[in-house]
Each structure stands twice: as structure tokens, then as C-alpha cells.
Structure 1
Amino acid sequence: MSKLPAHKVKLGLITATIWNNDGFYSVDLSRSYKNGQGDWQSTPSFAQGDLLNASKCAERAEIWIARQMTKDATQHA
């Protein structure tokens, strides 16, 4: 994986982080929360109330990747 994400999609506490691995894109989904000390953390676990935003983030990530792959293909043609 590259060191910096190619793109991020955020909806509420849910984030889809998109990585470009030499033209192959992958996505990490996570939920942000504050720990007992008040520091922000992230987890790959979701509560029932998170699932709609998680699915919307995944859908938006898929759309971004599809557009990016089209853009990549036209730049290399």
C-alpha cells in the first residue's frame, strides 16, 4: 500500500479510506470513537446504527474508484 490514501469518504463517524496499490484499489472501512481519555480512535467494528452510513461510504468509495479507474485508463491511452 502507498503511504498516503488516494481518497477518503466520510459520513458521520464512518470513513472509507481508499488506497491505490499500483492501479489496484482497496478500501478500509472504520468507525471513529473517543476512548475513556477523550482521544479519538478508530475501529473496524460497527454497531447497527452505523451500518447505513457504512454502506453509503462503501458505495461512494466504489463510485470514486470507478471514476478514477476510467480517468487512469484515459491518461495511459
Structure 2
Amino acid sequence: MSNLPAHKIKLGLTTATIWKNDGSYSVDITRSYKTGEGDWKNTSGYFHSDLLNVAKCAERAEIWISRQLSTQQ
């Protein structure tokens, strides 16, 4: 994977980070949270209330990747 993501999609505290590697793509979906000390961290664990944003991020990532692949052909 490159050092910089190809694209990011953010909905609320949920972020889909899209990486391009040798012509294929991978996606990391994380949720941001604030620690008791006030520091921001990321996790791949989700609450029930996060799931709709996780699904929407995944769908938007799939659409973005599909558009990238269709322009390469």
C-alpha cells in the first residue's frame, strides 16, 4: 500500500479509508472516539448506533472504487 490513501469517506465518527495497491483497492473502516484524557483514537469495533454509517461508508467506498476501475478500462 502507498503511504497516502487514495480516498477517504467520512460519516459522523465513521471513516472509510481506501488504499490502492498494484491496481487493486482495499478499505479500512474505523470509528473515532475520545479517551478519558481527551485524546482521539480509532477502533474497528462498532456500537449498534454506528452500523448504519458503517454500511453507508462501505457502499460509498464500493461506488468510488467502481468508478475508478471503470475509468481505467
| TM-score normalised to structure 2 length | 0.97
**Residue type of the alignment partner of 1:8:** K
Deviations 1:1-51 (A, max 9, x none): 111000000000000000000111000000000011111100000000000
Task: Tell me the C-alpha RMSD between the 2 structures.
Answer: 0.6
Identity of aligned residues (%): 66
- Distance in 1 (alpha carbons) for counterparts of 2:33 and 2:68: 30
Q: Specify the alignment match of 2:68 in structure 1.
A: 68
Q: Specify the alignment match of 2:47 in structure 1.
A: 47
Corresponding pairs, count: 73
Once the two structures are TM-superposed, the CA of residue 52 in structure 1 deviates from its matched residue by: 0.3
For the pair shown, which has the larger CA radius of gyration, 1 or 2?
A: 1
Q: Specify the alignment match of 2:11 in structure 1.
A: 11
- Distance in 2 (alpha carbons) for counterparts of 1:67 and 1:39: 36
Question: Runs (4+) of structure 1 moved beyond 2 Å?
Answer: none
Once the two structures are TM-superposed, the CA of residue 54 in structure 1 deviates from its matched residue by: 0.3
Gaps (5+ residues) in structure 1? none
- Distance in 2 (alpha carbons) for counterparts of 1:36 and 1:71: 45
- Distance in 1 (alpha carbons) for counterparts of 2:65 and 2:44: 21
Gaps (5+ residues) in structure 2? none
**Residue type of the alignment partner of 2:47:** A
